[in-house]
Amino acid sequence: MTVENEFPHDGPISRARVKYEDYKGSASADSNDSRSFKSLLIREGIITEQDYIAAIRLGMGEIFDTVRDPYVEVYVREDSSDEKSYRCIVLNMTMNEFLLMFKRFQVLLTK
């Protein structure tokens, strides 16, 4: 895992979207007690214990013959900060590294 980029993000965090939206859905996950995005980012010196992870976005570009690694965006804010002002931290990580951050992970897509 490496940090690719970090930038401010003002405004609400929107729902997941793709180009045609043939399917829409929801996701749910249980944190892994032994590893998490917060502990990883603290260990790397990117955030502090007081920071709050408000959202995590997982995305994939167009898939042809090979599945590439996803893009991962972690939206962080300070506990005392404005709820609509975030830091967006873009991570380079494999799908395996991403899924290991959770005990359970489920996505439901419907037509």
pLDDT tens track for 16-35: 888 999 999 999 999 999 99
Tokens of 15: 């729902």
Q: How far is CA 58 from the centre of its chain?
A: 5
Task: For residue 20, tell me if it sits in a domain.
Answer: no
Task: For residue 8, tell me if it sits in a domain.
Answer: yes
Total number of domains in the chain: 1
Task: For residue 28, tell me if it sits in a domain.
Answer: no
3-state secondary structure of 97: helix
CA dihedral 85, 102, 60, 68 (to 10 degrees): 130
Print the domain residue range for 67.
2-14+34-110
Report the pLDDT value the prediction gives residue 111, as an integer from 0 to 100: 95
Average pLDDT, the chain: 90
Task: For residue 29, tell me if it sits in a domain.
Answer: no
Task: For residue 99, tell me if it sits in a domain.
Answer: yes
Contact residues for 49 (Cβ-Cβ < 8 A; gap 6+) = 42
Task: For residue 98, tell me if it sits in a domain.
Answer: yes
Tokens of 26: 């929801």
pLDDT tens track for 66-100: 888 899 999 999 876 667 788 999 999 999 999 99
Task: For residue 75, tell me if it sits in a domain.
Answer: yes
Report the pLDDT value the prediction gives residue 34, as an integer from 0 to 100: 92
What is the end-to-end Cα distance of the chain in Å, rounded?
34
**pTM assigned to the model:** 0.88
pLDDT tens track for 34-70: 999 999 999 999 999 999 999 999 999 888 888 888 9
